Amino acid sequence: MEFSKEEISKKAEYCLSCKIKMCQKGCPLGNDITQFISYVKEGKYEEAYKTLCETTVLSPICGRICPHKSQCEGSCVRGVKGESVSIGNLEAYIGDLAIENGYDIPKLTNERKNKKIAIIGGGPAGLTAASNLARHGYTVTIFEKYDKLGGILRHGIPDFRLDKNILDKQIEKILDLGIEVKYGAILGKNIKLEELENEFDAIFLAFGANISSKMGIEGENLNGVYGGNELLENNNHPNYIGKKVAVIGGGNVAMDTARTIKKLGAEEVKIIYRRAEKQMPAEKKEIENAKKEGIELLFQTNVVKILGNEKVEKIECIKTELVKKEGEAREVPIDIAGSNYIIPMDYIVMAVGSKTENEIVQNLGLELTKKGNISVDEHYMTSKEKIFAGGDLSGTKATVAWASRSGREAANEIMKFLEK
């Protein structure tokens, strides 16, 4: 555990226990933050855990890797004049204690329901939906492509940010609710949607959207151009020793890939981002960490083309200026004509966005959005009855807490549908 009991107690005492709970509003999961912190103040840790379990089953994970500054902590009243309450640290502490002391995720009924639900994908959305259904007495089977659960928590977020030991233990706790898992089960390859429709009363699709988008620029097909999502998911990297690498993008994937590549021995890593630092979607803490580790960040810089014979040799960049445009919430980066320059480069990593796996989603016979996500209505139902979808796959805001919320809410909708 990162903090002592005394440190945690001090962090809890700093909370003002506001009557109007702005922190709860800022949390995508709607955790009752002031209530769980009140229990921490009284030393009632199991009660604090039970309070968190009303809305989340991912406390030790969200406590560590949620973008707190733009969610709960960003809404904390303490933060208006000074430092906000360390909500993430407190949540992680309680989540860790629950693992250490064996506090169970409470079941919500002892009654068994005679309905079976298939969940496709064992990431935050799938795991949360599965727990909610199992806690209500339903029979749940998760179908997962890999031999381990966790989704991007395992095959994306690097170990230096999320200890996989904690993840394993939390997943164990979730599976203790009585959830069955079929590993190595890939929808669209060795399992078909129709087969699941025949066997299950409802299906929840939560297999994510972890394919790197491309920029559509010249040279993108040269050897030495990679997708950040794939590098992290497969943990299969080229030899970076003595090499120069450019990572293009400004979000989590860009930060995690750049930092991983630097740790793997690259001589030089540059993050190229077309907007300003203050517009970067990555957490401030991650940007600071990247800088400390010697990664260079080039702001207001766009990539025009990648140059080389068969393999990457150089990258052509251009400076941008930020311009206010009507109808746009934030300033738009515009290339400054004639400001082009070329830098030598060995590898380029695209981290400009993530999308769904075309080959699979297009063959499911379900309606898709323009962006290629699975289309759902306000009840998380797809264009086919009894098939629901959530998380990154259906285009939910791509954070763990939002994916998890969609899993929890979709499970509630599935229960309503099954009990109709």
Ligand X SMILES: Cc1cc2nc3c(=O)[nH]c(=O)nc-3n(C[C@H](O)[C@H](O)[C@H](O)COP(=O)(O)OP(=O)(O)OC[C@H]3O[C@@H](n4cnc5c(N)ncnc54)[C@H](O)[C@@H]3O)c2cc1C
CB of 360 to ligand X, least distance (A): 5
Answer yes or no whether residue 12 interacts with ligand X by CB under 6 A: no
Residues in CB range of 165: below 8 A, 6 or more apart: none
The span of 37-45, 169-177, 368-376, 398-406 binding ligand X (CB under 6 A) equals 398-406
Does position 60 bind ligand X by CB under 6 A?
A: no
Considering only residues 263-302, where is the footprint of ligand X by CB under 6 A? none
Residues 126-155: x/- map of binding to ligand X (CB under 6 A)?
x----------------xxxx----xx---
CB of 114 to ligand X, least distance (A): 26
Provide the minimum distance between the beta carbon of 213 and ligand X in the complex, in angstroms, as a whole number.
12
Token pair in block for residue 227 = 């997708």
Q: Does 207 bind ligand X (CB under 6 A)?
A: yes
Kindly tell me which residue out of 18, 77, 264, 360 binds ligand X, with binding defined by CB under 6 A. Answer: 360
Q: How far is the CB of 179 from ligand X (least distance, A)?
A: 14
Q: Does 187 bind ligand X (CB under 6 A)?
A: yes
The residue among 157 and 376 lying less far from ligand X, judged by its C-beta, is: 157
156 lines the binding site for ligand X (CB under 6 A): yes
CA distances from 234 to 2, 158, 205, 223, 227 (A): 29, 12, 22, 18, 11
Amino acid at 258: A
Q: Which two tokens stand for residue 30?
A: 């709607």
Q: Assess 349 for contact with ligand X (CB under 6 A).
A: no
Q: For ligand X, which residue of 60, 124, 219, 227 counts as binding (CB under 6 A)?
A: 124
Residue placing its CB nearer to ligand X in the complex, 120 or 134: 120
Among 51, 56, 84, 399, which residue sits at the site for ligand X (rule: CB under 6 A)? 399
Binding site for ligand X (CB under 6 A): 65-67, 120-126, 143-146, 151-152, 156-157, 185-188, 206-208, 210, 229, 232, 252-253, 256, 360, 391-393, 398-401, 403
